[in-house]
Amino acid sequence: MRLGILASHQGTNFQAIIDACQSGNLDAEVAVAISNNSKSRALARARLANIPTVHLSSKTHPQRDELDKALLSTLRDHQVDLVVTVGYMKKLGPQTLQYFQGRIINIHPALLPKHGGEGMFGMEVHKAVLESEDAETGVTVHYVDGNYDTGQIISQTRIQVMPDDTPESLAARVLAEEHKLLVNTLKQLTETPCNHQMKVR
């Protein structure tokens, strides 16, 4: 399976995918890494792994429809089978969503549908979990639709919130589980039709 990665910043989940592919733990290859941030760590990780990189953003394509068209064209040119968004901070356009319907997944550091939506990313998610006094949090992998974090859930894993947790300590524990769940879900998606809902624990 050929993967197309969309990332905006650090790309630690992307690194987990790279490592799994290189070790043979995941029967897939990253065909291209795309970022809306030309200086993102994600693109640097891709270059170190000899993965093609592309910067596409409002700077390269000021018109939204043109950006959407360029993104879709890049994914198609690299013969991508499955798109994986890992910390990608932009909504995908209608052309890309339609062409790859059921073949775009995202990972979110909470138990959706709780603590999802616009503005819920990074440390903001973990702050919201603690402010809500939730007993548990977790990680969700879901299909991407036209809105933030509303697509069909594919897999989730649960993590207990500790009494002395800070947003930083919670984030660290959640991130470790993100890497595991994402790779395990991708392993099942290489063997399962993308429109089939799975449960991974």
Pairing of strands 82-85, 53-55: unpaired
What is the phi-psi region of residue 172: left when phi exceeds 0, alpha when psi lies from -120 to 50, beta otherwise?
alpha
Pairing of strands 2-7, 104-108: unpaired
pLDDT in tens, 45-63: 999 999 999 999 999 999 9
Min mean pLDDT across 26-30, 82-86, 119-123, 130-134 is at 119-123
Q: What mean pLDDT do residues 87-99 have?
A: 95
Distances (CA, A) of 103 to 29, 140, 166: 15, 16, 35
Whether 8 shows a pLDDT value over 80: the answer reads: yes
Distances (CA, A) of 87 to 24, 79, 84, 174: 24, 22, 10, 14
pLDDT at 200: 39
Cα(67)–Cα(14) distance, integer angstroms: 22
Cα(7)–Cα(154) distance, integer angstroms: 20
Tell me if residue 20 falls in helix, strand or coil: helix
pTM value? 0.92
Report the top-level CATH class of 2-189: alpha beta
What is the average pLDDT value for the chain, to the nearest integer?
Answer: 94
Inter-residue contact 35 to 44 (CB < 8 Å): no
pLDDT in tens, 156-199: 999 999 999 999 999 999 999 999 999 999 999 987 654 444 44
How many angstroms separate the first and last alpha carbons of the chain?
A: 23
pLDDT at 163: 95
Contacts of 54 (CB under 8 A, 6+ apart): 32, 33, 34, 35, 74
Whether 201 shows a pLDDT value over 90: the answer reads: no
pLDDT-derived band at 3, boundaries 50, 70, 90: very high
pLDDT at 195: 45
Closest CA to 31 of 55, 1, 53, 4: 4
pLDDT in tens, 97-145: 999 999 999 999 999 999 999 999 999 999 999 999 999 999 999 999 9
Work out the angle between the directed axes of helices 41-48 and 12-23 (0-180°, nearest 10).
20
pLDDT at 193: 53
The residues assigned a catalytic role are 108
